[in-house]
Structure 1
């Protein structure tokens, strides 16, 4: 069985365990169903997720010219505190920015390699936690726009992490934390204008990833440098495929690469 198309981040569905899907233009694959099977991945060409041209991918699946032009790659995506749509100020496309920024956002704590603070649109819960490989997460605030979420994240990351150690996450070297206690402890650092949106009463969400065995060491596969790879799939966590030889493949960081993938056994 063979699949071909441009890589995009895997779609997910909450479950016990989480279900993963690779979606191509004319086909899709439930990745859980090929656990313990040998698969071959071959890089064919680049295909920018915006213009569709065969140009080297710069960041987020876009070629360099698209990355610095399109509204969906503005600086406020990675740094939500830079959002300005609530002030009616345009960055690249005000209509797009209002659509994305002026909707409910969640400030959360997640535990993937350590406890970290993060921001996501409410519509992306729990997808964002799954993509980060978090085995537990909890909401702290629900705010009406991205700016309030961003300034809260900036304030809290002085007292808790804001990055995931992806190697630790993939090796599953994790410690369970009481995120309710963390949330209570961090409340005092929330900016005054965001404090009315604090969520007092909710519980942790626990996530179960489809992994047969975690790698002891991790070797990252970069298809631009190693255009062909064959290995036995033993797990999926975050946006990573885990293989029996300790190779790991980050599907999201390879968005915009056009590949073929064959299921060998």
Structure 2
């Protein structure tokens, strides 16, 4: 049995454990049901998520031309402190930027490989934490726009990490942390503009991932280079597929690639 389509990040359902779904043009795969099965992945071609053409993927699933043109890839996506829609200033498409930037955003703490600070739209909680492979997370600030969330994140980066060690996350080499204590510790470092939005009373969200075996030495699969790979699926965490030989495949970082999945 085989399935083929352009990769986009897996959809998730908050459950115990998390349910993962790979959405292709004409198929909808529950990846949890494939645990323990042998899968062959085969690279077919590129397909830019914007123009749909078979052009090399530059970043975020887009070809180079689209990456530098479309609002979905503006600098403020990765650096929310650069958001300007609250000032009525356009970056690439003001109407799009208003829709995305001028809505409630969450500044959060998540523990995946270590405690880190991050930003996401309120509607993306807890999806964002799941995508990062965090086994626990907590909201610390809820603000009305992306800019305020961004400057809060920048301020807190001096006191807590803002990156995830993907190898450590996949090995499950993590310790539980008291995120409520972390929240209180960081409160005084929140910028004055965002102090009134501090969330003083909430609890951690605990996340359980569908993993049979964690890799001891994770090695990332470059499917464009290898062209084909076969292995037994033993877990899904973050946006990674984990195979029995310690190979891992990041669906999110391979968006825009057309891949054939054969279930053996």
Bin for the TM-score computed over the shorter chain: over 0.9
Residue 177 of structure 1 and its aligned partner are, at CA, apart by 0.2
TM-score norm. by structure 1 comes to 0.99
- Count residues with an aligned counterpart: 264
Matched residues in 1 for 2:28 and 2:222: separation? 22
Distance (Å, rounded) in 2 between the aligned partners of 1:42 and 1:195: 50
Deviation, structure 1 residue 224: 1.3
Aligned position for 1:107: 107
Deviation at 1:227, TM superposition (A): 1.0
**Where does residue 123 of structure 1 map in the other structure?**
123
* Structure 2: distance between partners of 1:104 and 1:232: 41
Give distance in 2, aligned partners of 1:227 and 1:133: 27
Structure 1 equivalent of residue 158 of structure 2:
158
Aligned equivalents of 2:177, 2:23: Cα separation in 1? 34
Deviation at 1:110, TM superposition (A): 0.1
2: CA distance, partners of 1:177 / 1:94? 40
Aligned to 1:210: 210
Unaligned runs of 5+ in 2: none
Q: Does 1:147 align with 2:157?
A: no
Q: Stretches of 4+ moved more than 6 A in 1? A: none
Q: CA RMSD in A?
A: 0.3
Residues 1:169 and 2:169 aligned together: yes
Separation in 2 of the partners of 1:52 and 1:114?
Answer: 37
Q: TM-score, normalised by structure 2?
A: 1.00
Q: What is the CA–CA distance in structure 2 between the aligned matches of 1:224 and 1:25, rounded to whole Å?
A: 20
Aligned residue for 1:65?
65
The residue aligned with 1:81 is 81
Q: Gaps (5+ residues) in structure 1?
A: none
**C-alpha separation between the residues in 2 aligned to 1:244 and 1:46?**
27
**Structure 1 residues 9-46: Cα deviation after superposition (integer angstroms, max 9, x where no partner):** 00000000000000011111000000000000000000
